[in-house]
Amino acid sequence: MTKKHYSAVVFDLDGTLLNTLTDLHASVNIALDHYGMPPRTMDEVRTFLGNGYLYLIAHCVPYNTPDEKVAEVLEYFEKYYYSHSMDTTCPYEGIPEVVETLAKDGYKLAIVSNKGMAAVKELAEHFFKNTIKVAIGESSDVRRKPAPDAALLGMRLLGVSKEESLYVGDSEVDIATAKNAGIDCLSVSWGFRTREHLEKNGAVDIIDKPSEIVDFLK
């Protein structure tokens, strides 16, 4: 990718800024157990993350579970997870310093996630209150990623163009989202997908530690 002068960074949340896997895994299994369904391993849950809550639950419940029951499990999961989304969740090592540096250097920052809107707002407020002012999650008004809607809304709220924006994410969903939104993508290997998986899904630029975000933007 030809280096450009970016003025904004649009971040994915889960697997990019925050390690949310343990809380998500626990919440999924609490919901499954409530309905007498077998648990899922952490690796299984990891592979289903990135496409929103419905996708996650639909792939975690047993095969051929009726849609009505999937909806019940989803509702239970959402309520439980919202109350436990910060039990163990924390930023990846180095992320707070990187976000602080970018904000101090004048970059406009946003979060765009397929996580539910309420949880996204709460996590952004808790972990990035003074640095990231725009946080967008899944809602009925905005199509979930990889549709470009959330990324485009984030850029609009930041007041920046596609050419000024860099998207940073950890999955194939993020790669597709950036492509659909017409913006450059920087993939990270510390999240829920491996470097090999990212490469197979079209990643152009991949970094292995948060500090490389700052280096990439120089």
Residue in this structure with the two tokens 């989304």, named with its chain if needed: 85
Measured CA to CA in angstroms, residue 83 lies from 23, 158, 171 at distances of 10, 29, 26
Report the alpha-carbon distance of residue 77 to residue 39 in Å, rounded: 13
Q: Which of these is catalytic: 12, 149, 174, 184?
A: 12
Q: Is 174 an active-site residue?
A: no
Per-residue buried b or exposed e for 35-47, using 16+ beta carbons within 10 Å of the residue's own CB: eebeebeeeebbe
DSSP letter string, 52-110:
-HHHHHHHHSPTT--HHHHHHHHHHHHHHHHHHTTSS-EEPTTHHHHHHHHHHTT-EEE
Residues in the chain: 218
DSSP letter at 96 equals H
Report the alpha-carbon distance of residue 131 to residue 69 in Å, rounded: 40
Tokens found for residue 156: 């609009």
Beta-strand relationship, 18-19 and 90-91: antiparallel
The three-state secondary structure class of 124 is helix
For the chain, the farthest-separated pair of C-alpha atoms sits apart, in whole angstroms, at 53
Positions marked active-site: 12
